[in-house]
Amino acid sequence: MTPEQASWFADIFARLVGNVEKVLLGKSFVIKLSFTALLSEGHLLLEDFPGTGKTSLARAIAQTVQGVSSRIQFTPDLLPGDITGVSIYDQKSGEFEFHAGPVFANIVLADEINRASPKTQAALLEVMEESRVTVDGVSHPVDAPFMVIATQNPIEQAGTYRLPEAQLDRFVMKTSIGYPDHGATLRILEGSGTNVHEGSLSPLVESAVVSEMARLARTVHVDPVVADYVARLVEATRTAPEVRLGVSVRGALALIRVAKTYAASTGRHYVTPDDIKLLAEPVLAHRLVLDPEAEFDGVTPTSIVSQLLIETPPPAERVSA
């Protein structure tokens, strides 16, 4: 990526974030993380309370990039075919015809994903990793861009199934929207006479532009000392006494990938250690499996990552390209 391309990337990125912020007031950083996940060709996991705007975020992103959004309400009786689609026999043609499921969209909101059985959750594994769905031995690719935004409710755990580590590893980032501050709440209340489902955002870019931005993000320069910093940070998660299962190689690659995109979003064509520090918690924390005794003592994955960032020294030399 050239400095000129980085400047173009940052300009488009800022416009995308500003457009979505018209719907999700006061949540600029969360929106930036969401677009970083999209342009890193990854998926986002939101663990948040009801009514914080998770559905609005998914719909606004799809409208901004001129895409199609779909919402899947995960329930205990949901079947894999309800997500991917099914093949139905057509008596007129004498052949099976594939009927696409809601996963065939640009932005897929998997609402309360942990309420469905592990078998149904697993229906998303292939499409999240390979951007295609295989039904009855036939592969059906999904359109680009493609991102799954999955949500979990942290306060209602009755009747839920914990996401397996293999599926958590598929999400490039995990974050939360949170409640708006006082100023944003007042602005929301001032517009209370408008139905939030009636409004729509004007598309800013076509899907082809998003694909081009994702391609450019992959070309951002990563200095060997920054890659070494990521490797040391990931290795530290595996040796921490409170951790039973550390970050995988996929997690390390995800951190580099999103750091490239975030660097480009700020107008830089190279990654700095500060990018790694900023993104380490949303990228790495949900991949850690803690020792039960540590969890009982109140240790959290976020606190582990924060401590490792303090203990793992960043590169001493200035990074540039």
pLDDT of residue 100: 87
pLDDT of residue 195: 53
DSSP-derived letter for residue 115 is G
Q: How far apart are CA 266 and CA 263, in angstroms?
A: 5
Q: How far apart are CA 232 and CA 229, in angstroms?
A: 5
pLDDT of residue 217: 94
One-letter amino acid at 10 equals A
pLDDT of residue 225: 93
69-73 β-sheet, strand order: 69-73, 107-111, 147-152, 44-47, 173-175
Looking only at the bridges linking them, the beta strands covering 138-141 and 85-90 are unpaired
pLDDT of residue 297: 84
Of the candidates 284, 273, 294, the residue with the CA atom closest to the CA atom of residue 246: 284
| R_g (Cα) of the chain, nearest Å | 20
Q: Per residue of the chain (321 residues), give pLDDT as tens.
A: 888 999 999 999 999 999 998 888 888 899 999 999 999 999 999 887 777 777 788 888 888 888 788 888 888 888 888 899 888 888 888 888 888 889 998 888 888 888 888 888 888 888 888 889 888 888 889 888 888 988 887 766 556 777 777 788 889 999 888 787 788 788 878 776 555 555 567 888 888 888 899 999 999 999 999 999 999 999 999 988 888 888 889 899 999 999 999 999 999 999 999 999 999 999 999 888 888 888 888 888 899 999 999 998 888 766 666
